A and B are shown apart, each in its own frame.
Chain A
Amino acid sequence: MRLFPRLRFRNKLNMGMAAILIVMALLLLPMVGYMSAQSLVEESKMRGSSLAASLAVRAVDPILARDFLRLKNMVDEQSRVQDVLYAFVQDRNGHVMAHTFQRRFPVDLLTANGVGENGALHIQLLEDGSRRMYDFAVPVQVSDGQLGVVRIGLSTTRISRTVQHQITLMAGLFAGALIIATSIGTYFARRVTVRLGLLRAHAEEMLTGNLNIQSSPEGGVHCWERRNCTLTECPAHGETRRRCWYIAGTMCPDCDNESNFQCRLQSCRACSVYRQNAGDEIQDLAETFDVMAVSLKTHINELRSADRNLRDQQRLMRTILDMTPDRVSLLDATMRYQACNKSFADSVGVPVPEVVGKTDFDLFYEVEAEERHMAARDILESGRRIDTQIQIKDEGKQQWFHVVCVPVFDADGRIDGLLRTDRDISDIKGYENQLIQAQKMESLGLLAGGVAHEINTPLGIILGYSQLLQEDVEPDSQIHGDLIIIEKQTKVCKKIVADLLGFSRQTDSAKREMCFNNSVLEAVSLVRHTFRLDKVEIMTDMDDRYPIIYGDPEKLKQVWINLLTNARDAMGTDGGIIFIRTKLDTPAGIVSVWMADCGVGIPKDKMKNIFDPFYSTKAVGQGTGLGLSVSFGIIEDHDGEITVTSPLPEGFEFPECEAANGPGTVFEIDLPLDHQFHEGSSEA
């Protein structure tokens, strides 16, 4: 069944031509034979009729004259005619007057045939064993009288022989035509198949990616050569791979460059360039093939370029989307996720590819999913943009997000989906709160400064009078003791007032080069004695390289005293050890001091608030909560950094302390050594 499709095209053509000729021979030979036979039969009948009629006419006189010799001569003349088997003449009574038979007469012939009705010619086909013959009976008539009948027998052998000859000739002609057609067909088919094979090979080349092939025959005269064209800007000028009629936008004045390819080609048919170069269908196919290859190559290059651009764009877009901390997602009209960035995928804990096709309920907890779903549905229905801030609590952690949802429209202007961006603004919110707090503190500071300034004067008077009164009373008296308490508490008040004034006053820093260790040791020496009264021992581990910094000694001393005071307060009534260590880090350009205690430590949830102004864990009356806040400001003013760690980190090498009543706390202050910039900036 599959044999024919596998045959070579050349063989198919030959088989087709041979089949046509054979079918024609099979159809035509019987037809020709039949027609020839019929024609010959008719011709033979006419011939026999003519012979018989002629004989009948000539036999009149001999019959009338009863001239048997002439009659005999006449019939004998007929017998000499080819195919005439016999001839004889009968008189009006049917008696045979003359015949061509030797000796005796075959009696069957007497009744075998006779003239037809009205004395017309009658032809009767006779068969005698192996032979067939036509018997012609013609009346011998004079006027309307019948003198007798002339009979002539004509053999059909010649007809058969002639038909046989014609059919043999026709069969020979068909056989010759078959051979010639097959030979010519083979020649032409080979020429065609060779060209088709070339096209196929080129097609295979194209499949393997080689588009630099030429299927059409090279050579021929190009339009720009034939016309001596100087229009170098014409796309056909200098073109050797494509014929000019395949090139759109040629500038030839005879060309129709406005219509489509078929109409343009119509205008080319009268062109001498076309008439000289146009070939048959296979050449057209090959040339079209070449044009297709060139076009394909161009398209592929464009596609590759476009693909490269697209991939670059996609990579850029993906990078932008993935690098942005915002959570970007795209939903379709059915509220299923079509795309998202890495931030979004990380937030929902699902890889980016797996997000596609999911719904909010697949990615979020029910409450949040419901909120997002409702918001998305509202946008898809109304087309309104949403721009809002939401707060999300996740495992006790609060986060603020700035949410922007915009509808996405398709080419017809219908809402096709929505784009949602969730930007984490928790830090901004924190800064916002800090700003509010700072502004509150600024107002409060101004208020406190004013109050302190007013209170400072009466406090000075109270202090002065209490000291004066001490001189007027007995040193060991109750009054003297009360005055000392008044003096002490007034000093405390003045200290508070002084802190308030220091906090609120915008004092210019009096920075200079100073010894860092000395600054720390001065503060230690100031408080060491007092602290011992509270069973607090101060131990130091100072870097003996005496680092020099650029700073305000008084303010830094205030920082150290604040930190030491806080350390002492953290250890309660049992006392303890305060350990101070300084370290110079010359490569880093900083000098650090660690002030550690073995006190109660700072809870983790309160760690972030300890630098806030007026934040204090101490009982009312024991602290204002301004110390660390002021210290933080001073260290920042020195471009330093202050951090706190509680409990004490392992490996800190804190000295042994029997009275330790807690995990301890360590404050680390890093100050820069390089002060050139600050000098410059301050000078500026």
Chain B
Amino acid sequence: MVPAVLMGCSDEEALQVDLSKRKTLVAPRQVKAITYAYLPQYSHTISYQRHRQLLEYLRKFTGLPLRQIFPDTFDEHIKMVERGEIDISYSNPFVYIRLAKVGATAFAGIVEPSGNPDFQGQIICRRDSFDIKNISDCRGKRWVAVDPESAGGYLFPLGLFYDNNITVSDFETVDFAPGPGGKQEKVVLAVHAGAYDIGTIRKGTLDVVSGKINLDDIRVLAETRLYPGWVYAARKGLDPEVIRVISEAMFALNFNHEPDREILASAGMHGIIPVQDSEYDPVRELVGKLGLTQ
């Protein structure tokens, strides 16, 4: 009785609802739109966050109904491009090579936050790893890389090792950063902790972790050559006018312009520039050199 009285004495007023009035819900029909997908190297949330403003900008600028979609895997992404479910694909150069095989065409590339359109990978080790003085010293060591599909974090350094006559089998172990998201940072932290002798990362990652560790403890052993960066590709059969309009809108973004800078920074890029498919031949060469099956 007392609790009832107490609850009754509460100053909160209850809203009367009738839970017996029910109906079957039907999902509304999806509006037709140009689909935009970001290669799922991060979670959907990160992907959404990074490209939400860019898509908003493109919608306003082009007047086209753009909708970002979120494939779960690289393969799904590639297949959706192939099936025409993704109109505009934003992927790394390795994935693009595969997309190009299914008819996609590169029409824009990004300028890295460093200001260059190209990017490169880095081999790092602990500063106190005195037995590792050059690339050849990496032989027989424990290697941690970002992801098998990572360009700067694995494939570019793998090519560098290849050029120095070191193959995967020459390492004691080759592991990849565990779990979703933040894989580049995880590599740095694994090397810093001494769990691995060397690590491979995309250049610029050390700046990201500067607040977490003392960068003096890390030594950059070598850097790969420059390769073209991330690329926008249109699916096969997409209206060229759409490509043109979107391209123009992308190229119009100016990092020095405050609103544009916010859009570009949130997407992790410095600018968007026109590219040709041939600019990705070095990547194709690397793939061929490493014998990777596409």
Binding site for B on A (CB under 8 A): 29-30, 33-34, 37, 41, 60-61, 64-65, 93, 95-97, 99, 101, 103-109, 112-113, 124-128, 132, 142-143, 145, 156, 159-161, 163-164, 167
Closest chain A residue to B40 by CB distance?
A65
**Complex partner residue of A164 from B2, B9, B25, B47, CB under 8 angstroms:** B2
Using Cβ atoms and an 8 Å threshold, which residues of chain B touch A37? Answer: 3, 6-7, 10
**Complex partner residue of B49 from A41, A65, A99, A143, CB under 8 angstroms:** A143
Query: Are A143 and B24 within 8 A (Cβ)?
Result: no
On whether A108 and B18 interact (CB within 8 A), knowing A37-B6, A61-B45, A167-B3, the answer reads yes
A161 to B7, CA, bound (A): 11
Using Cβ atoms and an 8 Å threshold, which residues of chain B touch A60? Answer: 44-45, 48
17 contacts between A and B (CB under 8 A): A29-B2, A30-B2, A30-B6, A33-B3, A34-B9, A61-B43, A61-B44, A64-B47, A95-B27, A99-B25, A103-B22, A108-B19, A127-B16, A127-B17, A143-B52, A160-B3, A160-B7
Closest chain B residue to A160 by CB distance?
B3
Query: Are B22 and A101 within 8 A (Cβ)?
Result: yes
Between A34, A112, A132, the greatest number of chain B beta carbons within 10 A of the residue's beta carbon is seen for A34
Using Cβ atoms and an 8 Å threshold, which residues of chain A touch B45? Answer: 60-61, 64, 142
A34 to B9, CA, bound (A): 9
Query: Are B70 and A106 within 8 A (Cβ)?
Result: no
Using Cβ atoms and an 8 Å threshold, which residues of chain A touch B32? Answer: none
The answer to whether B14 has its CB under 8 Å from any CB of chain A is yes
On whether A107 and B22 interact (CB within 8 A), knowing A34-B9, A65-B72, the answer reads yes
A75 to B72, CA, bound (A): 21
On whether A61 and B70 interact (CB within 8 A), knowing A30-B2, A105-B24, A145-B52, the answer reads yes
Query: Are A142 and B52 within 8 A (Cβ)?
Result: yes
Closest chain B residue to A113 by CB distance?
B15
The answer to whether B4 has its CB under 8 Å from any CB of chain A is yes
The answer to whether B28 has its CB under 8 Å from any CB of chain A is yes
Query: Are B6 and A163 within 8 A (Cβ)?
Result: yes
Shortest distance in angstroms between A79's beta carbon and chain B's nearest beta carbon?
14
The answer to whether B23 has its CB under 8 Å from any CB of chain A is yes
Shortest distance in angstroms between A96's beta carbon and chain B's nearest beta carbon?
5
**Complex partner residue of A106 from B15, B22, B68, B72, CB under 8 angstroms:** B22
Using Cβ atoms and an 8 Å threshold, which residues of chain B touch A126? Answer: 14-17
A160 to B1, CA, bound (A): 10
Query: Are B3 and A96 within 8 A (Cβ)?
Result: no
A60 to B44, CA, bound (A): 8
Using Cβ atoms and an 8 Å threshold, which residues of chain B touch A145? Answer: 48, 52
Shortest distance in angstroms between B33's beta carbon and chain A's nearest beta carbon?
13
The answer to whether B210 has its CB under 8 Å from any CB of chain A is no
**Complex partner residue of B48 from A97, A104, A128, A142, CB under 8 angstroms:** A142
Query: Are B7 and A95 within 8 A (Cβ)?
Result: no
A255 to B20, CA, bound (A): 90
Query: Are A108 and B3 within 8 A (Cβ)?
Result: no
Query: Are A104 and B24 within 8 A (Cβ)?
Result: yes
Using Cβ atoms and an 8 Å threshold, which residues of chain A touch B2? Answer: 29-30, 33, 163-164, 167
Using Cβ atoms and an 8 Å threshold, which residues of chain B touch A108? Answer: 17-19, 21
Query: Are A125 and B15 within 8 A (Cβ)?
Result: yes
The answer to whether B241 has its CB under 8 Å from any CB of chain A is no
A515 to B280, CA, bound (A): 204
Using Cβ atoms and an 8 Å threshold, which residues of chain A touch B19? Answer: 106, 108-109, 128
A37 to B45, CA, bound (A): 39
Closest chain B residue to A37 by CB distance?
B6
Query: Are A112 and B12 within 8 A (Cβ)?
Result: no
A127 to B12, CA, bound (A): 11
A30 to B4, CA, bound (A): 11
The answer to whether B131 has its CB under 8 Å from any CB of chain A is no
Shortest distance in angstroms between B58's beta carbon and chain A's nearest beta carbon?
15
Q: Tally inter-chain residue pairs, CB-CB below 8 A.
A: 109
A91 to B69, CA, bound (A): 15
The answer to whether B13 has its CB under 8 Å from any CB of chain A is yes
Binding site for A on B (CB under 8 A): 2-7, 9-10, 12-25, 27-28, 43-45, 47-49, 52, 68-70, 72
A41 to B3, CA, bound (A): 12
Closest chain B residue to A62 by CB distance?
B44
Sample of 20 further A-B pairs with CB below 8 A, known A160-B7, A164-B2: A37-B10, A64-B44, A65-B72, A103-B24, A104-B25, A106-B22, A107-B21, A107-B22, A108-B18, A112-B15, A125-B13, A127-B15, A128-B17, A132-B14, A142-B49, A143-B48, A143-B52, A159-B7, A163-B7, A167-B2
On whether A156 and B7 interact (CB within 8 A), knowing A33-B2, A106-B20, the answer reads yes
Shortest distance in angstroms between A108's beta carbon and chain B's nearest beta carbon?
4
Using Cβ atoms and an 8 Å threshold, which residues of chain B touch A34? Answer: 6, 9
Using Cβ atoms and an 8 Å threshold, which residues of chain A touch B69? Answer: 65
Query: Are A93 and B3 within 8 A (Cβ)?
Result: no
Using Cβ atoms and an 8 Å threshold, which residues of chain A touch B3? Answer: 33, 37, 160-161, 163-164, 167
A125 to B12, CA, bound (A): 7
On whether A124 and B6 interact (CB within 8 A), knowing A61-B44, A142-B45, A142-B49, the answer reads no
On whether A33 and B6 interact (CB within 8 A), knowing A64-B45, A105-B22, A124-B15, the answer reads yes
Using Cβ atoms and an 8 Å threshold, which residues of chain B touch A156? Answer: 7
A95 to B48, CA, bound (A): 20
**Complex partner residue of A107 from B4, B5, B12, B23, CB under 8 angstroms:** B23
On whether A132 and B48 interact (CB within 8 A), knowing A65-B70, A106-B21, A125-B12, the answer reads no
Shortest distance in angstroms between B14's beta carbon and chain A's nearest beta carbon?
4
Shortest distance in angstroms between B60's beta carbon and chain A's nearest beta carbon?
15
**Complex partner residue of B27 from A97, A101, A132, A164, CB under 8 angstroms:** A97
Query: Are A160 and B4 within 8 A (Cβ)?
Result: yes
Using Cβ atoms and an 8 Å threshold, which residues of chain B touch A33? Answer: 2-3, 6
Shortest distance in angstroms between A133's beta carbon and chain B's nearest beta carbon?
9
A65 to B4, CA, bound (A): 45
Shortest distance in angstroms between A38's beta carbon and chain B's nearest beta carbon?
8
A107 to B22, CA, bound (A): 5
Shortest distance in angstroms between B271's beta carbon and chain A's nearest beta carbon?
22
On whether A132 and B15 interact (CB within 8 A), knowing A61-B44, A64-B70, A97-B27, the answer reads no
Using Cβ atoms and an 8 Å threshold, which residues of chain A touch B24? Answer: 103-105
**Complex partner residue of A95 from B4, B23, B28, CB under 8 angstroms:** B28
A93 to B47, CA, bound (A): 21
Using Cβ atoms and an 8 Å threshold, which residues of chain B touch A95? Answer: 25, 27-28
Using Cβ atoms and an 8 Å threshold, which residues of chain A touch B18? Answer: 106, 108, 128
Q: 10 shortest A-B CB distances, which residue pairs?
A: A104-B22, A127-B14, A163-B3, A108-B17, A61-B44, A106-B19, A64-B44, A125-B14, A164-B3, A65-B70
Using Cβ atoms and an 8 Å threshold, which residues of chain A touch B49? Answer: 142-143
A421 to B28, CA, bound (A): 140
Shortest distance in angstroms between A523's beta carbon and chain B's nearest beta carbon?
141
Closest chain A residue to B28 by CB distance?
A95
Closest chain A residue to B24 by CB distance?
A104
Using Cβ atoms and an 8 Å threshold, which residues of chain B touch A124? Answer: 15
Shortest distance in angstroms between B72's beta carbon and chain A's nearest beta carbon?
7
Shortest distance in angstroms between A31's beta carbon and chain B's nearest beta carbon?
10
Using Cβ atoms and an 8 Å threshold, which residues of chain A touch B68? Answer: 64
Using Cβ atoms and an 8 Å threshold, which residues of chain A touch B17? Answer: 106, 108-109, 112, 126-128
Shortest distance in angstroms between A242's beta carbon and chain B's nearest beta carbon?
59
Shortest distance in angstroms between B269's beta carbon and chain A's nearest beta carbon?
17
Shortest distance in angstroms between A129's beta carbon and chain B's nearest beta carbon?
8
